[in-house]
Structure 1
Amino acid sequence: MTQDEVLAEFRDSGALLEGHFKLSSGRHSAHYLQCARVLMNPARAARLAEAIVAGIPADVLQRVDVVVSPAMGGIIIGHEVGRALNKDALFLERPEGVFHLRRGFALRPGAKALMVEDVVTTGLSSREAIAAVTREGGEVIAECAIIDRSCGSVDLGVPFYPLLAIDFPTYAPESLPEALARIEVTKPGSRKE
């Protein structure tokens, strides 16, 4: 998929929002990509997952034993990437604030995992999820995502293969541009304050 085709998927589903948003990372932005909306259509989710998989080198894909994603945002795209690879797709949860496997999910010792996210901005959730896979006995060998909001600057400690890198500026709460500060902030993400 080209950049324009990916953005068309977001626009067509009403998933590219404009306003003043507090992101899960704690940073603020005038743009928000609501991946839940773009993924609500199974055919669209499958197209995006297949495009993500197509961008991952074959030597990486050959080593993948299992797909793992953080809840909530990564569950649907992780499941679809698992389907595209014909691999099990597990998800991590953090009901008490720290990611871990639940619901009977387990990794075999040394399992090679592909981490799948919807959007990566600072990489905080990804790094926490990668650490959880290590605690659970697996090894994350790479990460992929629909969107890289860091535009290539994020360091996850593993190779990273986003479908699309977008440079929507983000701001620390104390450094908001005046025009953005005048707009009421909303928090559409899944992470609690």
Structure 2
Amino acid sequence: MTDDEILAEFRASDALLEGHFLLSSGRHSGHYLQCARVLMNPARAARLAKALADRIPSDLRASIATVVSPAMGGVIIGHEMGRALGIDAMFVERPSGTFELRRGFALQPGEKVLLVEDVVTTGLSSREAIAAVEAAGGKVVAAASLVDRSGGTADFPVPFFPLIALDFPTYAPDEVPAALAATPATKPGSRAKP
């Protein structure tokens, strides 16, 4: 899929929003990608996952035994990536603030894992999920996301494969431009902030 085709999928599902948003990373933005909307259609989710799976080099793809994604945002794309790769998919969640495997999910020692996210802004959630996989005995060999909006700054200890990179600016709370600050911020993400 080309970038234009990928963006067309987001626009067709009204998943590309404009306004003032407080992202789960704590940063502010005038744009928000509601990946839950783009993934709510199973055929669209399957197309996007197949395109994302195709971005991973075949030798690396062949070594992956399991897909793990962080809840909530990564659950659907993680499941679809499991389908696209023909392997199991599970997720980590934060019942007490730290990611962990639950619901009977378990990894074998050294099991090779692909970590899959919906959107990466700073990479914090992905790094926390990688730590949870390693604590559970797995070995993350690559990370992937539908969207990289980090501007190339997300730092992972493994190769990272986004389906599309979007350069929507984000701002620290003390850097929000006056025009954006004039509009009340909404929190569309799934991570609760204190």
Q: What TM-score comes out, normalization by structure 2 length?
A: 0.99
1:41-83 deviation digits (Å, cap 9, x = unpaired): 0000000000000111011101101000000000000000000
Q: Which aligned runs of 4 or more in structure 1 are off by greater than 6 angstroms?
A: none
Work out whether 1:182 is the aligned partner of 2:182: yes
Q: What does residue 64 of structure 2 align with?
A: 64
- Quote the offset at 1:95 in angstroms: 1.2
Distance 2:121 2:176 in 1: 17
- Quote the offset at 1:151 in angstroms: 2.6
Distance 2:36 2:111 in 1: 28
Distance 2:14 2:162 in 1: 21
Q: What does residue 96 of structure 2 align with?
A: 96
Q: What does residue 6 of structure 1 align with?
A: 6
- Quote the offset at 1:152 in angstroms: 1.9
Q: What does residue 142 of structure 1 align with?
A: 142
- Quote the offset at 1:187 in angstroms: 0.3
5+ long unaligned stretches in structure 2: none
Q: Which amino acid aligns with 1:35?
A: C
1:89-146 deviation digits (Å, cap 9, x = unpaired): 0100101000000000000111000000000000000000000000000000000100
1:140-181 deviation digits (Å, cap 9, x = unpaired): 000010000013221111100000001000000111101000
Count of matched residue pairs: 193
5+ long unaligned stretches in structure 1: none
Distance 1:142 1:152 in 2: 16
Q: Identity percentage over the alignment?
A: 69
Q: Which amino acid aligns with 1:129?
A: A
Q: What does residue 169 of structure 1 align with?
A: 169
Q: What does residue 25 of structure 2 align with?
A: 25
Distance 1:131 1:99 in 2: 8
Q: What TM-score comes out, normalization by structure 1 length?
A: 0.99
Helix, strand or coil at the partner of 1:8 = helix
